[in-house]
Chains A and B, each alone.
Chain A
């Protein structure tokens, strides 16, 4: 039933106006109709609002209260306190900022660089083999190890952590973009553009780039989720964001020693991390279903 029945017949009134009028539903409506985008997006919005406005209502995340050490939750401190008497609730809220910023910046960074590299690799055959072998090399090294190595080279700051997490994500983006470019460049409309003398950069921007946007948005959400996890793992291993900036990873790392005594130090940031990553991935699934089921499945 895929082809014939709904296609309009054109035998008679050919010289009339187009077959159908523009009646595509608004993209935003279409997206919100998908339940996982709706609920995942809602959860994500809550997290973003907490990250932006939460700190206005809490205290100082690094204020030490030695008298108030390892207090259990639901007392004076909702989420309890850690071994220095710092308020876990405040720290988890500040940690949301780090996680969301890392997720966003890493996915922007990986997608924008990967897009350029992938387009070049897919369209200019001379560079293809070299670029793809470098990407294969990157993929052969476990992402966490590569990130730790990069951080140990330059020292841990927010920027180096972002770059260290983004670089292992690059090959995925490059391969996706390259595969889209390789299939789209064979399309007759691209060949028509070539034969009417369109210059290469215009072909790439006008005819090929738009085809990569939908799958890239989907991939970006997955990268965002995995970047937040990687940041936490790096923090937990002590190789991530420096301890004076609270991130969910390093809060858990510091709570590890007291896990038996005061599990809440690990429990609350863990829950926050799980919920955020879940929300991002659920939104990603919804976007994949809505935007481009066919291409996105190739990933």
Chain B
């Protein structure tokens, strides 16, 4: 390695020239990646940005040699890692390069780590495979890199299993593993997407810190322009497998050239809440008092581990109003939503609809109230029964309440128009639609019940940013049009800023702050709210989308 140092110092860590990767015959386009060229210099963080299907992950996996070459064939171009063309390497040569010269971290650290192996041993395994160190040297080095990624108490964490660590700690372990051999290139494939916003901020800080101290070249794949603003030196924007724009991060963000980049930037919701129309506070649609949900098994002597998923939650939503519930994972926001829809039974408290407490009603007494509260879920790919047509899915609810098939279908056709889809698609199956279209269908299904309250449980979180903007607009439109009370649950403060009239911040099952959106964002009173806002990536950059 030392012989290459002189030469390597002048070369970019990674140089991709004219790379094309061909998709199988039956795919919807010819190339996954087409004529892509860019460089990652030493000590440089290059963000590759794009929506799903843009080819950013395929590019990264091709560099690592992790694509199934029988399905995805690199047909043209070069990938030069410190001057060596990776596409000409054999599988065993690639294996030794992975880890030593280039390393990758993934989105989901829980699945990327071996659950039955101590994390220290997993890091040590890297060293065992690639270096001639003795066992003692390896352990010392492992503790050193664990310290390097700011893990608290490495001596103890060495002997922990992945499930005993938090998401952020697991991602640090992944980074430690990637850095153990001091590779020149680190590829990070959406490494913070699965993490909470405060953890994300710490991991981004860590990656920046490592790049500064070790001079590692980082290829950082993300869909989030906030993250780009936070971390990137340079940006590569990809669409449909092609690079549409690249340049210095600050330039691209402040002055995007390509229409696609402009559209992406404009779709990122701004952290500044827009001025919203006043809401008539005379007509509460839904309220909850002292709502409790406790999970736990009683032990033999009445003891046992108890988890308070939601504690003493009070909320009220008025007709025509959107109440945002924000918080990180485990804060209890989804628990509250599921209690209100009565998908789970609350342990205590009241849920009032039309002056009636539905918290303790049995299934048959509850049935008339079912139509008043409808929910749209996060995952558009699992929210529709794949074996039933869109039309069947939409008419199911109204027909449960006595509407005839023809009338329900008529209503479904009207609603397809409302959500911006053609009424002729009712006899198609869900797999024929994209994620955003499916989410529109789910909204139509909820509206078909003529609800008073619509709950959106992370309903736009799984969508690409441009689609997200459209679905957000749709949700706001239907709220106005049908005078709905909307409970909008999200972890994304940007999204919440644009659509909510009031915000409720939850932490560990409790409501810590509540108030009009503009006030909460301008002057957060609780420390947790302040830390959430401070951690929002790209908070100092102005982004486009201002709902109105």
Which residues of A are interface residues toward B (Cβ below 8 A)?
A: 1, 3-11, 14-15, 17-22, 187-189, 191-200, 202, 206-207, 210
Contacts and interface: CB of A to CB of B under 8 A. Distances in A.
Contact of B433 (A19, A189, A198, A200): A19
27 contacts: A1-B58, A1-B61, A1-B68, A5-B57, A6-B53, A9-B239, A10-B467, A14-B434, A14-B467, A17-B422, A17-B425, A19-B433, A19-B434, A20-B28, A22-B429, A22-B432, A187-B382, A188-B382, A191-B343, A194-B343, A195-B375, A196-B374, A196-B445, A197-B371, A199-B400, A202-B400, A206-B388
B96 interface: no
Contacts of A188: 377-379, 382-383
Given A3-B52, A18-B437, 13 more contacts: A6-B23, A8-B53, A9-B54, A9-B239, A10-B464, A11-B467, A14-B434, A20-B431, A22-B428, A22-B429, A187-B382, A189-B384, A196-B445
B258 interface: no
B118 interface: no
Interface in B444-498: 445-446, 449, 464, 466-467, 470
A19 B421 CA distance: 12
Contact of A1 (B52, B72, B383, B436): B72
A10 B397 CA distance: 28
B101 to A, nearest CB: 23
B51 interface: yes
B254 interface: no
Contact of B397 (A7, A198, A210): A198
Nearest to A11: B466
B385 A206 contact: yes
Interface centre among A11, A22, A187 (most CB of B within 10 A): A11
A5 B51 CA distance: 11
What are the nearest 8 A-B pairs in CB distance?
A196-B397, A197-B370, A18-B432, A188-B377, A10-B434, A5-B32, A188-B383, A11-B466
Nearest to A190: B385
Contacts of A1: 32, 58, 61, 67-68, 71-72
Given A5-B23, A10-B435, A188-B377, A193 B420 contact: no
A109 B428 CA distance: 35
B301 interface: no
A19 B385 contact: no
Contact of B401 (A7, A193, A195, A197): A197
Interface centre among B53, B55, B342, B343 (most CB of A within 10 A): B53
A21 B464 CA distance: 22
A10 B385 contact: no
Nearest to B32: A5
Given A20-B432, A189-B385, A197 B55 contact: no
Interface of B: 23, 27-28, 32, 51-58, 61, 67-68, 71-72, 239-241, 260, 263, 341-343, 363, 367, 370-371, 373-375, 377-379, 382-385, 387-388, 393, 396-397, 400-401, 420-422, 424-425, 428-429, 431-437, 442, 445-446, 449, 464, 466-467, 470
Nearest to B393: A189
A210 B392 CA distance: 15
A206 B392 CA distance: 11
A30 to B, nearest CB: 14
Contacts of A14: 420, 434, 436-437, 467, 470
A199 B27 CA distance: 41
Contacts of A10: 434-437, 464, 467
B374 A195 contact: yes
A5 B377 contact: no
B53 A5 contact: yes
Given A1-B67, A5-B53, A196 B28 contact: no
A2 B57 CA distance: 10
A198 B260 CA distance: 43
Nearest to B424: A17
B119 to A, nearest CB: 25
A74 to B, nearest CB: 51
A17 to B, nearest CB: 6
A216 B434 CA distance: 30
Contacts of A207: 385
A9 B264 CA distance: 13
A187 B343 CA distance: 12
A33 B466 CA distance: 41
B57 A4 contact: yes
A8 B28 contact: yes
